Structure 1
Amino acid sequence: MPDNDSIDPTEVARPSSSRRDPEWLRARLDDWLPTVTGSPATITRLEIPSANGMSSETIVLDAAWEDTDHRLVVRVAPTPDSDPVFPTYDLDRQFRLIEHVASTTDVPLPTLYWSEPDPRPLGAPFFLMGRVDGVIPPDVMPYTFGSWLTEVSDDDRRTVAGTTIETLAMIHSAPVPEELLDLPGPGETPLRAHVRRLREFYAWASQGRAGSPLIERGFSWVDEHLPVESDPVLTWGDARIGNIIYQDLSPVAILDWEMAAHGPRELDVAWLIFLHRFFQDLAEMAGLPGLPEFLRRDDVADAYARSSGHEPRDLDFYITYAALIHAVVMYRIQSRAIHFGQAEEPVDTDDMILHRATLEAMLAGAYWAGVR
């Protein structure tokens, strides 16, 4: 594991500050809004949240047109000089994916307004959606360190887990929008295509840098343990509670669709389980109790089977693969932090992976024996 004094686990996912000037944004949106509303529009408030994303950027906006106030969120693709986490950002595709899910399921989603693929108005593509009130389990500090989720009762947390899993099953019921997804190439299965794209992302992230032997060993493990796949569905991709707005313990808005894909539903089920384990392990590293009874592996699998009629298979594989996906993302985030002088280059590149010990234990088949 990395030296705990060198990495603050609550800061690893700290979003970067915006590189866009609020007054410039306001002026540009003042010019752009009337072109889509078809009438005069006034921006009454514009704010860039301090906890902004390392991928697409979020702008909070209040505007009025046709004598009606609108509470909006603008999602903007990152600027090239921000050294983005991912190599490409297709926000118009995200907009159309959300639109597709909204029109074919009862998944709770923000109201969509407009997508602007032309980069000229704000320097990058963007889209607007309605702002939804509620609470989100925080990443910084992680919700397992103390949050509204640790303060509610055990029964309430079971309700949160249950309604979340029901919503995940609902996402998987959407017709697959093949025109909006990267489909397998000749001779590929959806899972093999997913692994290929992860390899391509890692190759891009490690270009010009020393790679991670642990990540490369993880890819070898995946190749050796690929299971027989269940039927592919539309996967959300970033299926975690930190991407959900809750009211009264139930999801009211599912956010962040940039990792959506065509693949086995177990990809999402495993990601939900693993991301909680990631935050739970961080809490235990810090000497905190966290939430060991929340989103437990078998509980999630059973609840998903009840909601969807499909019993998740091969979760040992899919949760380990989720840990590998997260390792590649963490490697990229740490590379980015080193680039901006926010972190030092480690002697051992595997120390760029905060959950190094977890991934090592999973590859060795020893992780779950140590879980309380």
Structure 2
Amino acid sequence: MSTGPQEAEPALTARVREQLAHRHPNCSIGELTTLPGGHSGLTYSVTVGDARYVVKAVPPGQRPIGRNDVLRQARVLGALAGSAVPVPGVVAVEDGQPAWFAMDFAPGEALEPVLDEPEVPAATARARMLEIASVLRRLHETDIRAPGLDAPEPLDAAGELTRWSRTLHAVPAELRPGGEDLLTRLADAVPSGAVSSDTQPVLLHGDFRLGNVLCVGERAVAVVDWEIWSVGDPRIDLGWFLLFADHRNFPHLGRAVPGLPTEAELLDTYLGGRPPLPAMDWFRALGRMKMAAIMGHNLRRHREGKHHDPDQERLPPTIAAMIRTARDILA
């Protein structure tokens, strides 16, 4: 649930104002206004003279871990500054309690063509998806030894499967038909470790898709929402990204977008003439299992009264479709 600007912690407001005043002396500083749509920490917008910034902060009383670890997000943004991957510039960081950082407010819209409103013109949606396939390749070419990144231990296919299997297992069995069989098939066919230079550990976004890339026209201007970035097999990001190329993956939720790139076209654009990646079908199935686990988790929380959102009741057909099509891919 969003909070209004008047509910921003006075101490946080004072700290943000002090830091930004140093950057913009003699400029008026506006209120911290809650930005809607955020799913991690607290997210505000603030104007300073003619400039505008986004502030992300740890919620009061909560620990800076997981999705609330805003300093970790600032770290990856700082490591990518000036790289071939467009990201907002970080302008201030404070590690006191609660920790927060401020970054440039990037223009543009982050809309998933098959899911989000308003609808994106078909030609624009196609161009954007092909554009960010190239952005994803550039992200995966980033040196994970970049100064300040402090990269974690790499995720491999087996580790990613274990992590998301726990999430799916926590979903009531009636909400994940065929889920146990899918997990068994995935476990029986886990690809081995890195088999080529193209599957060595890379910097992973974790939720790479158009909904997390701000675009102006057909151009990507900023990759955002870095809450779950990690280091690991590039096919983890790819298997997730490809899910959003086909509205049929989202029964009762998705809409058809004429001319949207196929998974094969997106892979070709990502590869840029390089050899195909091995075992991509396994990672495509893994992406579907992860989506089923996330949707099942959200639906369970709604039904248990932990997060009331009647819209979650639209999810069962898509959860079933994710599991069914993942099994079909592996078969």
Cα deviation for residue 332 of structure 1 reads 2.2
**Deviation sequence 1:94-153 (CA, Å, 0-9, x none):** 1101111224x2211112112333334xxxx332111111122158x923x751x2x243
Counterpart AA for 1:263: G
Change in Cα spacing, 1:275 to 1:295, as seen in structure 2 (3 Å) is same
| Partner SS for 2:188 | helix
Cα deviation for residue 218 of structure 1 reads 3.1
Provide the residue aligned with 1:330 in structure 2.
295
> Contact 2:249–2:322 (CA<8 Å) still a contact in 1?
no
Please, which of 44, 52, 57 is the counterpart of residue 30 of structure 2?
44
Please, which of 91, 99, 116 is the counterpart of residue 78 of structure 2?
99
Change in Cα spacing, 1:192 to 1:292, as seen in structure 2 (3 Å) is farther
Change in Cα spacing, 1:54 to 1:88, as seen in structure 2 (3 Å) is closer
The 5 Å alignment of 1:96-175 reads 96-103=75-82, 105-120=83-98, 125-138=99-112, 142-143=115-116, 147=119, 149=120, 151-153=121-123, 156-175=124-143
**Deviation sequence 1:159-208 (CA, Å, 0-9, x none):** 22221111111101101149634315xxxx722222233345557xx3xx
> Contact 2:177–2:320 (CA<8 Å) still a contact in 1?
no
Residue 6 of structure 2 corresponds to residue 23 of structure 1: yes
Q: Structure 2: any 5+ residue segments left out of the alignment?
A: none
Provide the residue aligned with 1:317 in structure 2.
282
Provide the residue aligned with 1:190 in structure 2.
156
Cα deviation for residue 245 of structure 1 reads 0.7
Counterpart AA for 1:321: L
Change in Cα spacing, 1:276 to 1:99, as seen in structure 2 (3 Å) is same
Counterpart AA for 2:217: D
Q: Identity of paired residues, percent? A: 18
**Deviation sequence 1:5-55 (CA, Å, 0-9, x none):** xxxxxxxxxxxx22x442242733441135434467743243223x42233
Work out the CA distance in 2 between the residues paired with 1:72 and 1:62: 6
The 5 Å alignment of 1:288-303 reads 290-291=256-257, 293-303=259-269
| Partner SS for 2:68 | coil
Work out the CA distance in 2 between the residues paired with 1:79 and 1:215: 37
Please, which of 237, 244, 252 is the counterpart of residue 268 of structure 1?
237
Work out the CA distance in 2 between the residues paired with 1:352 and 1:80: 32
Change in Cα spacing, 1:290 to 1:191, as seen in structure 2 (3 Å) is same
Counterpart AA for 1:183: E
Number of aligned residue pairs: give it.
315
Cα deviation for residue 70 of structure 1 reads 2.3
Cα deviation for residue 355 of structure 1 reads 2.0
Provide the residue aligned with 1:6 in structure 2.
none
Cα deviation for residue 274 of structure 1 reads 0.7
Q: CA RMSD in A?
A: 3.4
> Contact 1:266–1:313 (CA<8 Å) still a contact in 2?
no
Give TM-score, length-normalised by structure 2.
0.80
Provide the residue aligned with 2:44 in structure 1.
59
Change in Cα spacing, 1:157 to 1:351, as seen in structure 2 (3 Å) is closer
Provide the residue aligned with 1:342 in structure 2.
308
> Contact 1:47–1:61 (CA<8 Å) still a contact in 2?
yes
**Deviation sequence 1:43-81 (CA, Å, 0-9, x none):** 3243223x42233332121124xxxx3201112345679
Residue 322 of structure 2 corresponds to residue 356 of structure 1: no
Please, which of 173, 179, 182 is the counterpart of residue 218 of structure 1?
182
Change in Cα spacing, 1:289 to 1:351, as seen in structure 2 (3 Å) is closer
Change in Cα spacing, 1:176 to 1:127, as seen in structure 2 (3 Å) is same
Change in Cα spacing, 1:281 to 1:174, as seen in structure 2 (3 Å) is same
Work out the CA distance in 2 between the residues paired with 1:196 and 1:274: 20
